[in-house]
Amino acid sequence: MKTYTAKTKEIERQWHLIDASGKTLGRLATDVVRLLMGKGKPIFTRNLDTGDFVVVTNVSKIVVTGKKDSDKMYYSHSGYPGGFKAARYREVIAENPTRAFEKAVKGMLPHTRLGAMMFKKLKAYAGADHPHAGQIGQPAQSLASIEAKVEVKRKQKAAAAAIAEKPVTEAKVAAPKVKAEDGAVAKPARKPRAAKPAAKAEAAPETKKESAD
């Protein structure tokens, strides 16, 4: 039995809405990562992005356990001398409420270009408002459906171009029929034929003068 491998055209994505109010940072991040990677799908393939879109609201209401609010540190370095920076969890969320959650999710994804593609499907918002109300609960367009629409448009453009390039032939216009006074339909008058050129008169044969005896 061959191992099943998903194809790009077979991937169909869904939109999920998660309310983060009162949820723990790490537990919520693991649930979101499973959706982003598509690990819960039977078509999950390690080297493909089979995951769904995830919209997380009320990220500012996420909680942490123990003393992580004051003890958890975030480090960064600009790459230049003296560019080392350190910030506590509460300082990070005070500056940007979604940064700590996004860093937790990004750290659990593969650190490759594939992981970057998965991370782009995460939509995190500090409050309850989000601009994805039309997509929630609706399946996202698969690559196969998008390619089918593109193919239809390509055929339409090709047909229009073929019609434009086709030479226009002058249609024969029939002469209008004229009604006679008695109601009968009279046939259109014919064009007079051109007169034939007159035949050249035949020259009379020359008679030779009889020589005198």
Q: What is the pLDDT of residues 160-202, one digit of tens each?
A: 888 887 665 555 555 555 555 555 555 666 766 766 666 555 5
- Per-residue pLDDT tens digits for 110-131: 999 999 999 999 999 999 999 9
Element (DSSP H or E) covering residue 19? strand 15-19
124/102 Cα distance (integer angstroms): 8
Query: From 3.40.50.450, 3.40.50.300, 3.30.1280.10, 3.90.1180.10, which CATH number describes the 8-64+98-144 domain?
Result: 3.90.1180.10
Predicted confidence at residue 187, as pLDDT, reads 62
Residues 19-40: b if buried by 16+ CB within 10 A, e if exposed: ebeebebeebbeebbbbbbbee
Pairing of strands 122-124, 178-179: unpaired
